[in-house]
Structure 1
Amino acid sequence: MASFVDTPAGRVPVVRTRPTWTDRVGTCRVRLGLSRDLYAVPPGLYAVGNPHPESPVLVTANYKLSFDTLRFSLQGRNAWILVTDTRGINVWCAGGKGLFSSGTVSEIIRSSSLDRVVSNRMLILPQLSANGVRAADIRRATGFDAVFGPVRAEDLPSFLDGGMRAFPAMRATSFGLRERAVLIPVELVLLWKFLALLLLALLLLAAILPGPFGLWWSRLNPVLTASLAGIVGGTVLVPLLLPFMPLRHFSVNGALLSALVWIVLQSPIPGLPIQYRLGLGLWATALGSWQALSFTGSTTFTSPSGVEREMRRAIPFIGAGGLIALALAAWGLIGWSMQ
């Protein structure tokens, strides 16, 4: 907070419109999946610049990344920001979960005594909240009208200067390379526990099996290579190459890319029995398919029903693939040890 402004409803905090070092560090942390559940601001009314009763009122979620994106787009402007309680979830997801709704917006209007602070009765809602908010319901509950702003916060200055009219380009969502790539780090960080447990299991297995530890480790570490193939294919390549994917199903595309990565990575590894090689390849495709499937909820063109339908179809195949991969790898490993 930069300062406070006095209003008939009490003191309202004034927030900065330029990112500080702390803001940048916080953004990096949340992009890496660190303390994401705690990255929120208190719900309520905030001020930008030196707003007056006729200044525009913009509504957002209390997920700090959403809040920051909005306030940083309002440099040099006077406005009110009304933050609704979405339990630290972003606008789009909160709308789908019913946390950014007509009811929650109406509640924060009442609890912040917004009617005592502003004389205009118009709210600017984020367009991505349209899946959970109905302007008519807010008007009936509070007397405030509402209009949906542009998709991107960076278009807000043009929207406000144009009499709160959005051009068609402001209504269109995008999901370009940068927007897809920024989602990759958090998915990779979420995998570290899985990789740590896998490494520990392989080390323990190499230690307890009869024979030299080094021999068994050389036979078991290709499992890490196969896991890396699945992670690269499903977690990295699917988001980066999404517009060029040949098929509609994320799970199938993840499996195909992971299989290709495994073919490249396993070729320099000598002496792998065919069953072991096939088992690890199937493990890579199953893992890559699962990782790609988890990306469906991050895209701008999948619906909840479509995601649910693909999950119902894909998960049994992924599970079966994992079991078959385990059986083939064990068969190949046993045969290898008997040579």
Structure 2
Amino acid sequence: MDITVINICDNVSSLQGAAAPCCGNSQGAQVSPPRIDQPFVNGVIETPGGPVPRIAASLTKKDLLGAIRVRFGIRRMHYTVDPGLYASGDPGPNDPVFVTANYKLSFDRLREAVSGRNGWILVLDTKGINVWCAAGKGTFGTEELIGRIASSSLGKVVNHRTLILPQLSGPGVAAFEVKRRSGFKVVYGPVKASDIPAFLDAGLAATPSMRTKTFPVVERLVLVPVEIIGAAKIALLALAILFLASLFLTGTSLDMAFRYSYNAILAMVIGITAGAFCTPLLLPWLPGRSFSIKGLLPGVAGAILFFAIQGDNGTRNGTLQVYAWLLLIPVLSTYLAMNFTGSSTFTSLSGVKKEMRWAVPLQIAGAVFGCVLWFTSFFVH
């Protein structure tokens, strides 16, 4: 099932006043061109504004493996390209200028979409963050765009004064300010890079479907690996601490420590699966608007599953330990579910802040109470 937000505004820059988020300035922007020894650069084009690296039109096996790697959170914040101006194909002074982020996945999506066409790609320094998130954080912003236009000598490279920006960059860019200070007009392209060829063929006119941001199941699940791996790293540290605590509190009994650790491992696996996999998978059907509420139902289901597996062993300390995890599993699930707020079409920055004001204190309270029950179980017989 697709989740759709209709009518993302054509001129999203109207959402922002003249005081655009600042992430750089035209005085301090990088002057030197991008490095030509980057793997995807296959030549240089001489222009009146200086040499411009030419990029390969198609993605290589190394590009595809790199994309898979970052999906699993491996060197995620280092998967970048140099900011600056690039050439795609054999562009001339009248060919279009596309603007994107220096997160390599964003860059690769664009160069793949315009493969076989001549054009210029202006890459902004978004600190390795994708277009949508960078626009919200301010790194894909008015000041950075104006500064990058100046530092790349774009006005000398092309005769026209039109920039094609990703539609999802709109919240970070004040188009009228860019026009006033640089002379370049901002035109917002389609949401998806794959629609750019049709957008160009239509004379820079977008259809309603090009202005619609969907959040289908494939896009939701592609976010799962990095969330699970991130949660698993923290869980391993927590398990090590819990094992040592169990060993100490049981009088160095390895048998009891492993028994307690087994419960912890099972509970954390269930909690992580509920929050980082089941929640995005079932997102359209889960009740509530807040992601913490959406993550609650899978968390409760996970707690029931944990109880069905472990049950009540008839001892008071065993019962307390089970109750502790019955509380901690939903807490973990709701917390992990909230990580998807920044990558969905469901919410806004103000909505996220509002949710965090009430959800996080409840999660902390639940976690503290669950931990108290867990530690208390060692002293009850």
Q: Taking structure 1 as the reference length, what is the TM-score of the superposition?
A: 0.95
CA shift in 2, pair 1:216/1:98, >3 Å: closer
Q: Which residue of 2 aligns with 1:314?
A: 359
Q: Aligned with 1:19: secondary structure?
A: coil
CA shift in 2, pair 1:301/1:252, >3 Å: closer
Q: Aligned with 2:310: secondary structure?
A: coil
* Aligned residue among 360, 371, 374 for 1:329: 374
Letter in 2 for 1:329: W
Please state if 1:284 is matched with 2:334: no
Q: Which residue of 2 aligns with 1:260?
A: 301
Q: Aligned with 1:13: secondary structure?
A: strand
Q: Which residue of 1 aligns with 2:133?
A: 93
Q: Distance in 1 between matches of 2:122 and 2:260?
A: 59
C-alpha displacement at 1:194, in angstroms?
Answer: 1.3
Letter in 1 for 2:266: T
| Unpaired runs of at least 5, structure 2 | 1-40
Please state if 1:14 is matched with 2:54: yes
Q: Distance in 1 between matches of 2:58 and 2:136?
A: 30
Q: Which residue of 2 aligns with 1:68?
A: 108
Alignment of 1:16-55 (within 5 A): 16-55=56-95
C-alpha displacement at 1:310, in angstroms?
Answer: 0.4
Contact 1:95 1:131 in 2 (8 A): yes
Contact 2:242 2:261 in 1 (8 A): yes
Letter in 1 for 2:217: L
* Aligned residue among 162, 178, 184 for 1:144: 184
Alignment of 1:1-339 (within 5 A): 1-208=41-248, 209-210=250-251, 212-270=253-311, 271=313, 273-335=318-380, 338=381
Q: Distance in 1 between matches of 2:228 and 2:220?
A: 14
Q: Distance in 2 between matches of 1:172 and 1:47?
A: 29
Q: Aligned with 2:376: secondary structure?
A: helix
Q: Aligned with 1:4: secondary structure?
A: strand
Q: Distance in 2 between matches of 1:106 and 1:39?
A: 24
Q: Distance in 2 between matches of 1:299 and 1:190?
A: 19
Q: Aligned with 2:163: secondary structure?
A: strand
Q: Distance in 1 between matches of 2:122 and 2:237?
A: 44
C-alpha displacement at 1:72, in angstroms?
Answer: 0.6
Q: Distance in 1 between matches of 2:185 and 2:278?
A: 44
Q: Distance in 2 between matches of 1:148 and 1:87?
A: 22
With 191-200 and 171-180 compared, the bigger mean Cα shift is at 191-200
Letter in 1 for 2:121: I
Q: Distance in 1 between matches of 2:378 and 2:284?
A: 39
C-alpha displacement at 1:265, in angstroms?
Answer: 3.1
Q: Aligned with 2:123: secondary structure?
A: strand
CA RMSD of aligned residues (A): 1.5
C-alpha displacement at 1:89, in angstroms?
Answer: 1.3
With 290-299 and 53-62 compared, the bigger mean Cα shift is at 290-299
C-alpha displacement at 1:262, in angstroms?
Answer: 2.4
CA shift in 2, pair 1:101/1:220, >3 Å: closer
Contact 2:247 2:256 in 1 (8 A): no
Q: Distance in 2 between matches of 1:296 and 1:9?
A: 42
Contact 2:77 2:128 in 1 (8 A): yes
Q: Distance in 2 between matches of 1:104 and 1:212?
A: 60
Q: Distance in 2 between matches of 1:27 and 1:44?
A: 21
| 1:66-115 deviation line (CA, Å, top 9, x unaligned) | 11110010121001001111111111111112211222111111111111
C-alpha displacement at 1:211, in angstroms?
Answer: 6.1
Letter in 2 for 1:178: V
Q: Taking structure 2 as the reference length, what is the TM-score of the superposition?
A: 0.85
Q: Distance in 1 between matches of 2:131 and 2:254?
A: 52
Indicate the percent of aligned positions where both proteins have the same amino acid.
Answer: 43
| 1:89-146 deviation line (CA, Å, top 9, x unaligned) | 1111111122112221111111111111111111101101100112211111111112
Aligned residues: 336
Contact 1:225 1:266 in 2 (8 A): no
Q: Answer 1 or 2: higher relative contact order, Cα 8 Å, separation at least 6.
A: 2
Q: Distance in 1 between matches of 2:254 and 2:307?
A: 22
With 215-224 and 311-320 compared, the bigger mean Cα shift is at 215-224
Contact 2:239 2:261 in 1 (8 A): no
C-alpha displacement at 1:205, in angstroms?
Answer: 3.0
Contact 2:85 2:122 in 1 (8 A): yes
Contact 1:39 1:64 in 2 (8 A): yes
